[in-house]
A = this chain, B = another copy of it.
Amino acid sequence: MKNAVYAQSGGVTAVINASAYGAIVAALESRDIGRVFAGVNGIKGILNEELFDLTDEKRSEIERIPYTPGAVFGSCRTKLEKEEDFERLFKVFDAHSVGYFFYNGGNDSMDTAYKIHRKALEMNFPLRVAGVPKTVDNDLLLTDHCPGYGSAAKFTAISIREATRDLKSMYSDSTKVFIMESMGRHAGWLTASAALAGIDQLQGPQIILLPEVAFNQETFLRRVEEVIKADGYCSIVASEALKGSDGNYLSTAGYYDAFGNIQLGNIGQYLERLVRENLKCKVHVALPDYLQRSSRHIASLIDWQEAIEVGAFAVKEVLRGKSGFMVSIDRTCDRPYLKELKCVDLSQVANGTKPLPEDFISEDGFYVSDSFLSYARPLIQGEAPNLFLHGLPIYENMAKVKVRKRL
Protein backbone atom coordinates (compact mmCIF):
# COMPACT_ATOMS: atom_id res chain seq x y z
CA MET A 1 0.00 0.00 0.00
CA LYS A 2 1.47 3.33 -1.09
CA ASN A 3 1.69 6.53 0.90
CA ALA A 4 0.44 9.98 -0.16
CA VAL A 5 2.02 13.44 -0.14
CA TYR A 6 0.02 16.63 -0.11
CA ALA A 7 1.86 19.96 -0.56
CA GLN A 8 1.11 23.67 -0.93
CA SER A 9 2.66 26.07 -3.39
CA GLY A 10 2.55 29.72 -4.46
CA GLY A 11 0.76 32.63 -2.80
CA VAL A 12 -1.75 31.54 -0.20
CA THR A 13 -5.50 32.03 -0.10
CA ALA A 14 -7.91 32.23 2.82
CA VAL A 15 -9.10 28.69 2.05
CA ILE A 16 -6.04 26.80 0.79
CA ASN A 17 -6.07 24.99 4.12
CA ALA A 18 -9.66 23.95 3.51
CA SER A 19 -8.36 22.08 0.46
CA ALA A 20 -5.56 20.66 2.59
CA TYR A 21 -8.20 19.44 5.01
CA GLY A 22 -10.31 17.91 2.24
CA ALA A 23 -7.38 16.04 0.72
CA ILE A 24 -5.84 14.94 4.01
CA VAL A 25 -9.04 13.70 5.60
CA ALA A 26 -10.01 11.85 2.42
CA ALA A 27 -6.56 10.25 2.40
CA LEU A 28 -6.65 9.42 6.10
CA GLU A 29 -10.08 7.83 5.73
CA SER A 30 -9.11 5.78 2.69
CA ARG A 31 -8.20 2.13 3.10
CA ASP A 32 -6.08 2.29 -0.04
CA ILE A 33 -3.58 4.83 1.22
CA GLY A 34 -0.89 4.03 3.77
CA ARG A 35 0.58 7.00 5.55
CA VAL A 36 -0.38 10.58 4.81
CA PHE A 37 2.46 13.08 4.50
CA ALA A 38 2.61 16.81 3.85
CA GLY A 39 5.52 18.51 2.14
CA VAL A 40 7.22 21.17 4.25
CA ASN A 41 7.12 24.35 2.18
CA GLY A 42 5.86 22.55 -0.91
CA ILE A 43 8.23 20.98 -3.35
CA LYS A 44 11.13 22.81 -1.71
CA GLY A 45 10.95 20.76 1.47
CA ILE A 46 10.18 17.54 -0.36
CA LEU A 47 13.44 17.85 -2.31
CA ASN A 48 15.11 18.14 1.08
CA GLU A 49 13.23 15.07 2.34
CA GLU A 50 11.23 17.21 4.72
CA LEU A 51 7.81 15.68 5.23
CA PHE A 52 5.32 15.96 8.04
CA ASP A 53 3.68 12.66 8.92
CA LEU A 54 0.01 13.44 9.56
CA THR A 55 -1.13 9.85 10.04
CA ASP A 56 -0.97 10.02 13.82
CA GLU A 57 -1.74 13.72 14.15
CA LYS A 58 -4.44 14.51 16.71
CA ARG A 59 -7.82 14.53 14.95
CA SER A 60 -8.94 17.59 16.93
CA GLU A 61 -6.03 19.53 15.43
CA ILE A 62 -6.72 18.19 11.93
CA GLU A 63 -10.25 19.56 12.35
CA ARG A 64 -8.81 23.03 12.91
CA ILE A 65 -6.88 23.11 9.63
CA PRO A 66 -9.73 24.63 7.57
CA TYR A 67 -10.12 27.42 10.16
CA THR A 68 -6.53 28.54 9.72
CA PRO A 69 -5.22 31.17 7.27
CA GLY A 70 -1.89 30.99 5.46
CA ALA A 71 -0.56 27.63 4.30
CA VAL A 72 -0.42 25.32 7.32
CA PHE A 73 2.46 23.27 5.90
CA GLY A 74 4.32 26.21 4.40
CA SER A 75 4.42 27.21 0.75
CA CYS A 76 7.17 27.99 -1.75
CA ARG A 77 7.78 29.59 -5.10
CA THR A 78 10.37 26.99 -6.11
CA LYS A 79 10.22 25.60 -9.65
CA LEU A 80 11.60 22.27 -10.80
CA GLU A 81 13.99 22.97 -13.62
CA LYS A 82 16.92 20.60 -13.62
CA GLU A 83 16.92 16.90 -14.41
CA GLU A 84 18.53 16.13 -11.05
CA ASP A 85 15.64 17.83 -9.23
CA PHE A 86 13.26 15.25 -10.65
CA GLU A 87 15.62 12.40 -9.91
CA ARG A 88 15.96 13.65 -6.34
CA LEU A 89 12.18 13.99 -6.01
CA PHE A 90 11.56 10.40 -7.10
CA LYS A 91 14.32 9.21 -4.82
CA VAL A 92 12.54 10.86 -1.89
CA PHE A 93 9.19 9.46 -3.00
CA ASP A 94 10.73 6.01 -3.41
CA ALA A 95 12.41 6.13 0.00
CA HIS A 96 9.04 6.87 1.60
CA SER A 97 6.91 4.64 -0.63
CA VAL A 98 4.97 7.57 -2.01
CA GLY A 99 2.53 6.62 -4.75
CA TYR A 100 0.21 9.64 -4.68
CA PHE A 101 1.09 13.30 -4.97
CA PHE A 102 -1.30 16.21 -4.56
CA TYR A 103 -0.06 19.68 -5.39
CA ASN A 104 -2.21 22.61 -4.28
CA GLY A 105 -1.44 25.80 -6.15
CA GLY A 106 -1.89 28.17 -9.09
CA ASN A 107 -0.47 28.36 -12.60
CA ASP A 108 3.17 27.74 -11.78
CA SER A 109 2.29 24.93 -9.41
CA MET A 110 0.09 23.21 -12.01
CA ASP A 111 3.05 23.39 -14.35
CA THR A 112 5.23 21.77 -11.71
CA ALA A 113 2.62 19.07 -11.10
CA TYR A 114 2.38 18.44 -14.84
CA LYS A 115 6.15 18.10 -15.19
CA ILE A 116 6.28 15.65 -12.30
CA HIS A 117 3.49 13.61 -13.85
CA ARG A 118 5.24 13.50 -17.22
CA LYS A 119 8.60 12.65 -15.71
CA ALA A 120 7.06 9.85 -13.67
CA LEU A 121 5.65 8.34 -16.86
CA GLU A 122 8.97 8.78 -18.64
CA MET A 123 10.93 7.20 -15.84
CA ASN A 124 8.35 4.55 -15.19
CA PHE A 125 7.98 5.72 -11.62
CA PRO A 126 4.66 4.52 -10.17
CA LEU A 127 3.14 7.83 -9.12
CA ARG A 128 -0.30 9.33 -9.52
CA VAL A 129 -0.36 13.11 -9.60
CA ALA A 130 -3.28 15.48 -9.07
CA GLY A 131 -3.39 19.27 -9.11
CA VAL A 132 -5.65 20.97 -6.57
CA PRO A 133 -6.47 24.47 -7.82
CA LYS A 134 -6.02 27.56 -5.66
CA THR A 135 -5.52 31.23 -6.44
CA VAL A 136 -7.06 34.55 -5.45
CA ASP A 137 -6.18 35.68 -8.99
CA ASN A 138 -8.86 33.36 -10.42
CA ASP A 139 -6.89 33.01 -13.63
CA LEU A 140 -6.50 29.24 -14.03
CA LEU A 141 -7.68 27.84 -17.34
CA LEU A 142 -10.44 25.23 -17.76
CA THR A 143 -12.21 25.90 -14.50
CA ASP A 144 -15.18 28.20 -13.94
CA HIS A 145 -13.34 29.74 -11.01
CA CYS A 146 -10.59 28.94 -8.53
CA PRO A 147 -10.93 28.16 -4.83
CA GLY A 148 -9.60 31.16 -2.92
CA TYR A 149 -11.07 33.68 -5.30
CA GLY A 150 -14.52 33.81 -3.68
CA SER A 151 -13.07 34.58 -0.27
CA ALA A 152 -10.69 37.27 -1.51
CA ALA A 153 -13.59 38.71 -3.53
CA LYS A 154 -15.78 38.72 -0.43
CA PHE A 155 -13.09 40.52 1.60
CA THR A 156 -12.62 43.03 -1.22
CA ALA A 157 -16.35 43.72 -1.60
CA ILE A 158 -17.01 44.01 2.15
CA SER A 159 -13.94 46.17 2.73
CA ILE A 160 -14.78 48.65 0.01
CA ARG A 161 -18.42 48.63 1.11
CA GLU A 162 -17.34 49.61 4.62
CA ALA A 163 -14.75 52.12 3.44
CA THR A 164 -17.22 53.71 1.06
CA ARG A 165 -19.62 54.27 3.97
CA ASP A 166 -16.70 55.86 5.79
CA LEU A 167 -15.91 58.11 2.85
CA LYS A 168 -19.59 59.01 2.50
CA SER A 169 -19.55 60.15 6.14
CA MET A 170 -16.49 62.34 5.73
CA TYR A 171 -16.73 63.97 2.32
CA SER A 172 -18.72 67.04 3.35
CA ASP A 173 -15.60 68.82 4.58
CA SER A 174 -12.76 66.30 4.44
CA THR A 175 -11.72 63.33 2.27
CA LYS A 176 -13.53 63.24 -1.08
CA VAL A 177 -11.73 60.39 -2.79
CA PHE A 178 -10.80 56.96 -1.48
CA ILE A 179 -8.59 54.58 -3.46
CA MET A 180 -8.10 50.93 -2.60
CA GLU A 181 -5.35 49.02 -4.38
CA SER A 182 -6.14 45.42 -5.32
CA MET A 183 -3.89 42.42 -5.94
CA GLY A 184 -3.93 40.67 -9.30
CA ARG A 185 -0.80 40.73 -11.37
CA HIS A 186 -2.11 39.21 -14.57
CA ALA A 187 -5.85 39.73 -14.65
CA GLY A 188 -8.55 41.93 -13.19
CA TRP A 189 -10.73 39.26 -11.59
CA LEU A 190 -10.04 40.31 -8.02
CA THR A 191 -10.19 44.03 -8.70
CA ALA A 192 -13.50 43.49 -10.48
CA SER A 193 -14.96 41.76 -7.43
CA ALA A 194 -15.14 45.13 -5.66
CA ALA A 195 -18.26 45.78 -7.76
CA LEU A 196 -20.12 43.16 -5.74
CA ALA A 197 -20.26 45.77 -2.96
CA GLY A 198 -22.57 47.82 -5.15
CA ILE A 199 -25.29 45.22 -5.42
CA ASP A 200 -28.53 45.84 -3.44
CA GLN A 201 -27.82 49.36 -2.27
CA LEU A 202 -25.47 52.00 -3.62
CA GLN A 203 -22.61 51.05 -1.32
CA GLY A 204 -19.76 50.24 -3.65
CA PRO A 205 -17.00 51.99 -5.53
CA GLN A 206 -18.07 54.18 -8.43
CA ILE A 207 -14.89 53.52 -10.38
CA ILE A 208 -13.02 50.26 -10.92
CA LEU A 209 -9.70 50.39 -12.74
CA LEU A 210 -8.93 47.05 -14.37
CA PRO A 211 -5.55 46.02 -15.76
CA GLU A 212 -7.33 44.92 -18.95
CA VAL A 213 -8.21 48.56 -19.74
CA ALA A 214 -5.41 50.93 -20.75
CA PHE A 215 -5.25 53.79 -18.25
CA ASN A 216 -5.78 57.26 -19.60
CA GLN A 217 -5.04 60.08 -17.21
CA GLU A 218 -7.42 62.61 -18.72
CA THR A 219 -10.50 60.43 -19.05
CA PHE A 220 -9.85 59.09 -15.56
CA LEU A 221 -9.63 62.53 -13.97
CA ARG A 222 -12.69 63.66 -15.89
CA ARG A 223 -14.62 60.66 -14.60
CA VAL A 224 -13.56 61.26 -10.99
CA GLU A 225 -14.64 64.86 -11.33
CA GLU A 226 -18.04 63.83 -12.71
CA VAL A 227 -18.59 61.33 -9.91
CA ILE A 228 -17.69 63.87 -7.22
CA LYS A 229 -20.05 66.36 -8.85
CA ALA A 230 -22.89 63.83 -8.85
CA ASP A 231 -22.36 62.07 -5.49
CA GLY A 232 -20.05 64.37 -3.56
CA TYR A 233 -17.39 61.69 -3.16
CA CYS A 234 -15.62 59.07 -5.26
CA SER A 235 -14.66 55.57 -4.16
CA ILE A 236 -12.15 53.79 -6.40
CA VAL A 237 -10.66 50.30 -6.56
CA ALA A 238 -7.55 50.03 -8.71
CA SER A 239 -5.55 47.03 -9.83
CA GLU A 240 -1.89 46.99 -8.82
CA ALA A 241 -1.12 46.09 -12.44
CA LEU A 242 -2.56 49.09 -14.29
CA LYS A 243 -0.89 49.81 -17.59
CA GLY A 244 -0.79 52.90 -19.76
CA SER A 245 -1.69 52.87 -23.45
CA ASP A 246 1.99 52.11 -24.16
CA GLY A 247 1.56 48.75 -22.40
CA ASN A 248 3.93 49.67 -19.57
CA TYR A 249 3.01 49.39 -15.92
CA LEU A 250 1.86 52.73 -14.54
CA SER A 251 3.58 52.33 -11.22
CA THR A 252 6.21 49.94 -9.95
CA ALA A 253 8.08 49.60 -6.70
CA GLY A 254 11.26 50.33 -8.61
CA TYR A 255 13.05 46.99 -8.30
CA TYR A 256 13.01 43.43 -9.61
CA ASP A 257 12.30 40.20 -7.76
CA ALA A 258 14.41 37.05 -7.80
CA PHE A 259 12.74 35.86 -11.03
CA GLY A 260 13.47 39.11 -12.82
CA ASN A 261 9.84 40.26 -12.64
CA ILE A 262 9.43 43.95 -11.96
CA GLN A 263 7.90 44.38 -8.52
CA LEU A 264 4.52 46.10 -8.80
CA GLY A 265 3.22 48.49 -6.24
CA ASN A 266 2.20 51.91 -5.09
CA ILE A 267 -0.51 52.39 -7.71
CA GLY A 268 -2.63 53.85 -4.89
CA GLN A 269 -0.04 56.53 -4.14
CA TYR A 270 0.36 57.19 -7.85
CA LEU A 271 -3.35 57.81 -8.31
CA GLU A 272 -3.62 59.72 -5.03
CA ARG A 273 -1.10 62.25 -6.19
CA LEU A 274 -2.73 62.52 -9.60
CA VAL A 275 -6.16 63.24 -8.11
CA ARG A 276 -4.93 65.52 -5.32
CA GLU A 277 -2.81 67.69 -7.56
CA ASN A 278 -5.32 67.94 -10.38
CA LEU A 279 -8.64 68.03 -8.55
CA LYS A 280 -7.38 69.69 -5.36
CA CYS A 281 -9.14 67.46 -2.91
CA LYS A 282 -8.19 65.21 -0.02
CA VAL A 283 -7.58 61.59 -0.96
CA HIS A 284 -7.13 58.51 1.21
CA VAL A 285 -5.38 55.34 0.03
CA ALA A 286 -5.61 51.76 1.30
CA LEU A 287 -3.40 48.84 0.35
CA PRO A 288 -4.71 45.64 1.93
CA ASP A 289 -1.88 43.53 0.47
CA TYR A 290 -1.71 40.18 2.35
CA LEU A 291 -4.93 41.04 4.18
CA GLN A 292 -6.75 40.61 0.86
CA ARG A 293 -5.76 36.98 0.46
CA SER A 294 -5.44 35.90 4.09
CA SER A 295 -8.61 37.25 5.65
CA ARG A 296 -9.87 33.87 6.74
CA HIS A 297 -12.18 35.51 9.28
CA ILE A 298 -14.48 36.69 6.49
CA ALA A 299 -14.05 33.80 4.02
CA SER A 300 -16.93 32.86 1.74
CA LEU A 301 -18.83 29.76 2.83
CA ILE A 302 -19.27 28.59 -0.77
CA ASP A 303 -15.58 29.06 -1.44
CA TRP A 304 -14.58 27.31 1.78
CA GLN A 305 -16.86 24.38 1.09
CA GLU A 306 -15.66 24.07 -2.51
CA ALA A 307 -12.05 24.24 -1.39
CA ILE A 308 -12.68 21.25 0.88
CA GLU A 309 -14.46 19.44 -1.95
CA VAL A 310 -11.72 19.90 -4.57
CA GLY A 311 -9.15 18.53 -2.13
CA ALA A 312 -11.23 15.48 -1.35
CA PHE A 313 -12.22 14.98 -5.00
CA ALA A 314 -8.55 14.87 -6.05
CA VAL A 315 -7.98 11.97 -3.65
CA LYS A 316 -11.08 10.09 -4.81
CA GLU A 317 -10.15 10.40 -8.47
CA VAL A 318 -6.54 9.38 -7.92
CA LEU A 319 -7.77 6.31 -6.08
CA ARG A 320 -9.96 5.53 -9.09
CA GLY A 321 -6.73 5.32 -11.08
CA LYS A 322 -6.49 8.78 -12.60
CA SER A 323 -3.32 10.85 -12.84
CA GLY A 324 -2.08 14.02 -14.52
CA PHE A 325 -5.23 16.03 -13.92
CA MET A 326 -6.35 19.13 -12.11
CA VAL A 327 -9.71 19.24 -10.36
CA SER A 328 -11.91 21.75 -12.12
CA ILE A 329 -15.18 23.39 -11.10
CA ASP A 330 -17.83 23.24 -13.77
CA ARG A 331 -20.73 25.63 -13.21
CA THR A 332 -24.01 24.15 -14.39
CA CYS A 333 -26.35 26.92 -13.27
CA ASP A 334 -26.06 30.58 -12.20
CA ARG A 335 -29.29 30.94 -10.25
CA PRO A 336 -29.47 28.89 -8.15
CA TYR A 337 -25.77 28.30 -8.30
CA LEU A 338 -24.94 24.69 -9.13
CA LYS A 339 -21.65 23.08 -10.04
CA GLU A 340 -19.95 19.75 -10.71
CA LEU A 341 -16.37 18.78 -10.10
CA LYS A 342 -14.44 17.39 -13.06
CA CYS A 343 -10.92 16.44 -14.02
CA VAL A 344 -9.03 18.39 -16.68
CA ASP A 345 -5.65 17.57 -18.17
CA LEU A 346 -2.78 19.25 -16.35
CA SER A 347 -1.09 19.72 -19.73
CA GLN A 348 -3.88 22.06 -20.75
CA VAL A 349 -3.81 24.08 -17.55
CA ALA A 350 -0.10 24.36 -16.92
CA ASN A 351 1.22 27.91 -17.14
CA GLY A 352 -1.76 29.36 -19.03
CA THR A 353 -3.77 32.24 -17.62
CA LYS A 354 -7.37 33.27 -18.16
CA PRO A 355 -7.88 37.01 -18.58
CA LEU A 356 -11.08 38.77 -17.58
CA PRO A 357 -13.31 38.41 -20.67
CA GLU A 358 -14.12 41.61 -22.50
CA ASP A 359 -17.85 41.24 -21.89
CA PHE A 360 -17.24 41.30 -18.13
CA ILE A 361 -16.03 44.90 -18.46
CA SER A 362 -18.42 47.86 -18.74
CA GLU A 363 -18.49 49.72 -22.03
CA ASP A 364 -16.75 52.82 -20.71
CA GLY A 365 -14.04 50.67 -19.14
CA PHE A 366 -14.51 52.14 -15.65
CA TYR A 367 -16.61 49.34 -14.18
CA VAL A 368 -17.74 45.76 -14.70
CA SER A 369 -20.73 44.48 -16.64
CA ASP A 370 -23.88 42.82 -15.30
CA SER A 371 -22.61 39.48 -16.66
CA PHE A 372 -19.61 39.75 -14.39
CA LEU A 373 -21.87 40.35 -11.39
CA SER A 374 -23.97 37.28 -12.27
CA TYR A 375 -20.77 35.29 -12.58
CA ALA A 376 -19.13 36.44 -9.34
CA ARG A 377 -22.09 36.80 -7.02
CA PRO A 378 -22.57 33.08 -6.18
CA LEU A 379 -18.92 32.81 -5.15
CA ILE A 380 -19.16 35.08 -2.09
CA GLN A 381 -22.32 33.58 -0.62
CA GLY A 382 -22.43 32.66 3.02
CA GLU A 383 -19.89 33.16 5.77
CA ALA A 384 -17.43 30.36 6.51
CA PRO A 385 -17.53 29.44 10.21
CA ASN A 386 -14.79 30.67 12.54
CA LEU A 387 -13.44 29.41 15.83
CA PHE A 388 -13.03 32.31 18.24
CA LEU A 389 -11.49 32.24 21.69
CA HIS A 390 -10.97 35.35 23.82
CA GLY A 391 -11.84 37.59 20.89
CA LEU A 392 -9.38 36.10 18.41
CA PRO A 393 -9.71 33.35 15.80
CA ILE A 394 -7.84 30.24 16.85
CA TYR A 395 -5.83 28.18 14.44
CA GLU A 396 -4.42 24.68 14.22
CA ASN A 397 -1.58 23.79 16.52
CA MET A 398 -0.56 20.41 15.10
CA ALA A 399 2.41 18.47 16.43
CA LYS A 400 3.78 18.34 12.85
CA VAL A 401 6.10 15.42 13.41
CA LYS A 402 8.63 15.11 10.61
CA VAL A 403 9.38 11.72 9.05
CA ARG A 404 12.81 10.33 9.75
CA LYS A 405 15.10 11.00 6.81
CA ARG A 406 16.19 7.91 4.92
CA LEU A 407 18.47 9.43 2.34
A-side residues, CB < 8 A to B, are 8, 11-12, 41, 44-45, 68-72, 74-78, 154, 157-159, 161-163, 165-170, 172-174, 178, 196-197, 199-201, 203, 255, 257-258, 265-266, 268-269, 276, 282, 284-291, 293-298, 300, 377, 380-383, 386, 388-395, 397
Contact = CB atoms under 8 A, between A and B. Distances in A.
B393 A69 contact: no
The 3 closest A-B pairs by CB, nearest first: A70-B165, A71-B169, A286-B289
B168 A74 contact: yes
Given A158-B392, A173-B77, A168 B289 contact: no
Given A154-B391, A163-B289, A178-B290, 19 more contacts: A44-B172, A68-B165, A71-B169, A74-B172, A75-B169, A76-B172, A77-B170, A159-B291, A161-B393, A165-B395, A199-B390, A200-B392, A200-B394, A201-B395, A201-B397, A255-B276, A284-B289, A298-B298, A382-B391
Contacts of A388: 383
A11 B291 contact: no
Contacts of A382: 391
B169 A70 contact: yes
A222 B96 CA distance: 41
Copies of this chain held together in the complex = 2
A159 B295 contact: yes
Contacts of A258: 282
Contact of A295 (B72, B162, B391): B162
A69 B290 CA distance: 23
B161 A392 contact: yes
Nearest to A282: B257
B392 A199 contact: yes
A166 B76 contact: no
Contacts of A169: 8, 12, 70-72, 74-75
Contacts of A45: 172
Given A69-B166, A165-B70, A286-B291, A381 B377 contact: no
B294 A11 contact: no
A169 B72 CA distance: 7
B291 A391 contact: no
A364 to B, nearest CB: 25
A297 B294 contact: no
Interface centre among A157, A172, A268, A389, by most chain B C-beta atoms within 10 angstroms, is A172
B392 A294 contact: no
Contacts of A390: 199-200, 377, 381
A41 B173 contact: yes
Nearest to A263: B282
A197 B392 contact: yes
A173 B78 contact: yes
Contact of A166 (B170, B255, B293, B297): B293
13 contacts: A45-B172, A69-B165, A69-B166, A75-B172, A76-B172, A157-B392, A162-B290, A162-B296, A162-B393, A196-B392, A265-B285, A300-B391, A383-B386
